[in-house]
């Protein structure tokens, strides 16, 4: 500032420019640090592979080919991203209130089961749109209640939401198994206990010209809507205040309990919807295939996206691609299917550690500020 003080006009335009540059510099931090973190986890994973005598170059080129290389692999990736987007929303929305919910898988399982169960008596007579609408509604209600329960327990009883949501995941799996292997089992399917299929004609179709079902569109639309809800409405503002400082929010008279409940219910509804899509677009019935780990990968997606609904979409595609390439990597490199889990866990750790570098890298350290 001192060197431009003699020229008032120049000073203002320079400072305006500098302010703009400064803002750009600051916001680029939110891209640079995660990308660096991904890079570091790639290096760490390469070391892991080298220690096992496998070639990292082979691995990454196979991930590229299996996830993003061909139009076929792109479709596979996008099909996997749809549930990831929705389960990531299940983590991201409560995270804005400072709640760490890791049981999205439970809401997905229960949502999928609810949808398949309500479809059984309706399949013979209901026209497809009615059937799918009721199924979607059932999954939203099941998932919403399931995670809403987590929020209620947290607010009214002070039960830690992380632990209770994971316990509810195991309970949801038991509920699914109980009905699928018992009262609602399809007797005509001897191989795998499942509910009655909803019928091929009733299933959700593909986006024209692709093999990707409409779930992806649902996920993207929900991301945009929830972004607007969390960033452009009073509700979202109050939620973010609650996440920033619970006591301050209470002192302001914000309805903290209702905010928690509603956010958790929305979150659960998203994950439940993911279950509906898995049933109505992929499996055609509810069975143990619903427990595919989307809920757990969704946690990573949300953290990687820093709980921003709009960023969730590309991150979900990225991690969906890694997951989609798992089979190819497994076959070509003779690595177990848990390889993807190791890579995901590593990315998760490095991303969390990268939090500590915000505002501390030399380029981003603001002058005159004590860090």
Partner 1 sequence: MNDEAGLATVLLAMFAGAIRVSTPFLFVSLGETLTEKSGRINLGLEGTLVFGAMSGYAISYHTGSPWFGVLVAGLGGTVFGAIHGYLCKLPRVNDIAIGIALMLFGTGIAFFFGKAYIQPQAPRLPSISFGFWAENPSVRQALEINPLFLIGLFLAIFLWWGLKNTRWGLVVRTTGDSAPAALALGIDVDRVRLLSTMAGGFFAGVGGSFLSLYYPGSWTEGLSSGQGLMAVALVIFARWNPLYCFAAALLFGAAGALGPALQSIGISRGYHFFNAAPYIMTLLIMIASVSPKRSLKGAPGELSITK
Question: Which has the closest alpha carbon to 59: 247, 334, 344?
Answer: 334
Residues 171-190, mask of contacts with partner 1 (x by CB under 8 A): x--xx-xx--xx--------
Nearer to partner 1, 74 or 303 (CB): 303
Nearer to partner 1, 41 or 202 (CB): 41
Nearest distance, CB of residue 1 and partner 1, angstroms? 30
Nearer to partner 1, 218 or 300 (CB): 300
Nearest distance, CB of residue 338 and partner 1, angstroms? 4
Question: Which has the closest alpha carbon to 216: 274, 264, 133, 294?
Answer: 274
Q: Could you identify the residue written with the tokens 């302010």?
A: 19
Residue 4, classed as helix, strand or coil, is helix
**Per-position DSSP letters for 240-287, written without gaps between them:** HHHHH-HHHHHHTT--HHHHHHHHHHHHHHHHHHHHHHIIIIIISS-B
Q: Could you identify the residue written with the tokens 């039960």?
A: 159
Instruction: Evaluate whether 129 touches 297 at the Cβ level (below 8 Å).
Output: no
Residues 45-84, mask of contacts with partner 1 (x by CB under 8 A): ----------------------------------------
Nearby residues of 118 by Cβ (< 8 Å), 6 or more positions away: 134, 135, 138
Nearer to partner 1, 164 or 202 (CB): 164
With binding defined as CB under 8 A, does residue 156 bind partner 1? yes
Nearest distance, CB of residue 344 and partner 1, angstroms? 6
Report CA dihedral (330, 331, 335, 340) to the nearest 10 degrees: -10
Question: Could you say which residues in the range 207-266 bind partner 1, by CB under 8 A?
Answer: none
Residues 276-315, mask of contacts with partner 1 (x by CB under 8 A): --------------------x--xx--x------------
What residues make contact with partner 1 under the rule CB under 8 A? Answer: 100, 102, 153, 155-160, 162-164, 166-168, 170-171, 174-175, 177-178, 181-182, 296, 299-300, 303, 336-339, 341-346, 348-349, 352-353, 355-356, 358
């Amino acid at each position: 500032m001192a060197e431009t003080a003699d020229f008032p006009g120049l000073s203002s335009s320079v400072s305006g420019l500098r302010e703009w540059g400064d803002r750009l510099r600051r916001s680029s931090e939110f891209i640079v640090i995660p990308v660096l973190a991904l890079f570091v986890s790639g290096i760490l994973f390469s070391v892991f592979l080298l220690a096992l005598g496998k070639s990292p170059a082979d691995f990454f080129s196979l991930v590229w080919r299996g996830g993003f290389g061909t139009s076929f692999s792109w479709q596979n990736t996008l099909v996997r991203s749809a549930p990831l987007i929705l389960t990531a929303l299940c983590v991201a929305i409560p995270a804005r209130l400072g709640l760490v919910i890791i049981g999205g898988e439970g809401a997905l399982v229960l949502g999928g089961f609810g949808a398949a169960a309500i479809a059984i008596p309706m399949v013979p007579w209901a026209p497809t749109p009615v059937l799918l609408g009721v199924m979607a509604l059932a999954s939203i209600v099941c998932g919403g209640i399931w995670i809403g329960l987590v929020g209620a327990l947290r607010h009214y009883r002070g039960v830690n939401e992380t632990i209770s949501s994971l316990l509810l995941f195991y309970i949801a799996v038991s509920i699914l198994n109980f009905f699928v292997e018992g009262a609602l089992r399809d007797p005509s399917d001897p191989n795998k206990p499942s509910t009655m299929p909803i019928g091929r004609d009733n299933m959700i179709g593909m986006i024209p010209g692709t093999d990707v079902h409409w779930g992806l569109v649902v996920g993207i639309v929900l991301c945009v809507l929830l972004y607007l809800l969390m960033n452009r409405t009073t509700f979202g503002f109050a939620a973010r205040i609650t996440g920033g400082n619970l006591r301050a929010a209470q002192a302001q008279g914000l309805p903290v309990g209702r905010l928690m409940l509603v956010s958790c219910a929305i979150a659960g509804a998203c994950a439940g919807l993911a279950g509906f899509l898995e049933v109505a677009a992929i499996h055609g019935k509810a069975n143990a295939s619903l427990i595919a780990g989307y809920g757990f990968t969704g946690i990573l997606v949300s953290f990687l996206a820093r709980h921003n609904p709009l960023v969730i979409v590309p991150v979900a595609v990225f991690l969906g691609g890694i997951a989609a390439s798992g089979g190819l990597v497994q076959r070509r490199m003779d690595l177990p299917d848990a390889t993807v889990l190791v890579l995901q866990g590593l990315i998760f750790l490095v991303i969390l550690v990268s939090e500590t570098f915000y505002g501390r890298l030399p380029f981003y350290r603001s002058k005159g500020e004590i860090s």
